[in-house]
Structures are given as C-alpha cells and as structure tokens.
Amino acid sequence: MITHDVLESRPRDYRDTRLGVGVRLARASLARSRLLDALLLALLVGCGDPVHDDAVAALGPETPGVQKGPLHRPGQPCVLCHSAAGGEQPFVLAGTVYVSADSLTPIDGVQVKVIDSLNHELVTSTNCAGNFYVKQQDFSPTAPLWISMRRDAVLRVMNTPIYREGSCAGCHFDPQGPASAGHVYLIDDPTVEKAPVSQCH
C-alpha cells in the first residue's frame, strides 16, 4: 500500500513537472516568434526601394511659398510619390500642361480626355499650375490609354498610346531629345494657334 502510494505520487509529480516545463517552453517559443515577427516587420517597413527613394530625393524640396497640394511640383513625375510606393494618394495619371514647346508658362482650363482600350472615358481639367490628375478611385482604365487635350478652339492629340507610365513627366521632360519628347504643351504653332487667356490671377 505504501509502495503503491509512493509509485502513484512519483509519476503524477513527474507528469506535472513535465507539463509545466512544456507550457513554459511553448510560451517562450511564442514570445520569440512574436519578437522575430516584429523585427521582420520593422525591417520591411524600414527598408524601402533605394532606386525609388533616390528618384524621390532627386526631385528636391518643395518650392518655397507653394503648399503641398494640387498646385505643387508642376512638371514633375507626380505618380512617383502618388502611388503605393510613394505613400501619397495614388493617381492613375497626372501631369502638367504648358502653353507651348518653348514656354514654361502653365495653362489652366485645359480639358484632358483619357480613353482606355475598352473605350471607357474620363475628362479632367488643368488647374492654375497647369496640373491635372486622375485618382484611382475615379477611374480604373485598362491600358493602353489615348490622350487628347482641348482648350477653346485648340485641340491637341497625343500620337502614341500610354502603356504603363502614369506620370506624363516620366517621358515628357526637358530638354527635348532622344530620351524625351519635351514637356507637354497645348499650342503646337503659336503663329497659327492662339494661346488661350489664363483665368488664373
């Protein structure tokens, strides 16, 4: 009887001890796992795309006196920042329209028409900085896209479709050359077409 009690109590104590060790090991393993997950998340968040980060840094600071918003950074590749990678509100398409090829005067009130490959259409207008943009929630086009611009009697149609670059300035930047068509402009020939009068003051 005594032997039985001793033998009975020893295995029970042994099992209880093993169970306690197992629980402690499981908790420690879970804590390590959570710590590793947190460290991995921190590394992923902290490690951006160095090429993208360099491209954003190359844009330089904001223009003094111009607040961040629809009028800022005319002529720059908007979708670089206005994307998931850039952290700003994503744009499908954005750019700046100037009066002519030899002028960096922005033109407002230009209707920019976008037509996608499924014949879906959206029209937006340039603001006083010459900027226009199309938000993702407003238009989900299927590439390629065709673009035309109109202001008063002047109509300008882009000859080639857009396949992937949402920033006009990604392809249209100065100086004009083999890598660029130059900035986007409305008036092709100022001796024939009259530049619209700006409504901005």
Domains of the chain (ranges, CATH numbers): 70-187 (2.60.40)
134 versus 35: the higher-pLDDT residue is 134
Nearest to 94 by CA among 182, 150, 170, 168: 168
Reported confidence tier of residue 86, pLDDT bands at 50, 70, 90: confident
- In which element (H, E) is residue 18 found? helix 2-46
Q: What is the pLDDT of residues 28-77, one digit of tens each?
A: 666 666 766 665 555 455 556 888 888 888 888 888 989 889 999 999 99
What is the reported pTM?
Answer: 0.73
Pairing assessment for the beta strands 121-125 and 111-116 based on DSSP bridges: antiparallel
Q: What is the pLDDT of residue 8?
A: 47
> How many whole angstroms separate alpha carbon 15 and alpha carbon 51?
58
DSSP for 34-84? Answer: HHHHHHHHHHHHH---HHHHHHHHHT-SPPTT--SSTTSSTTS-GGGTSST
Tokens of 99: 């009066």
Cα angle vertex 92, ends 97, 107, to 5°? 10
Q: What is the DSSP letter of 92?
A: E
Which SS3 state, helix, strand or coil, does residue 177 take? strand
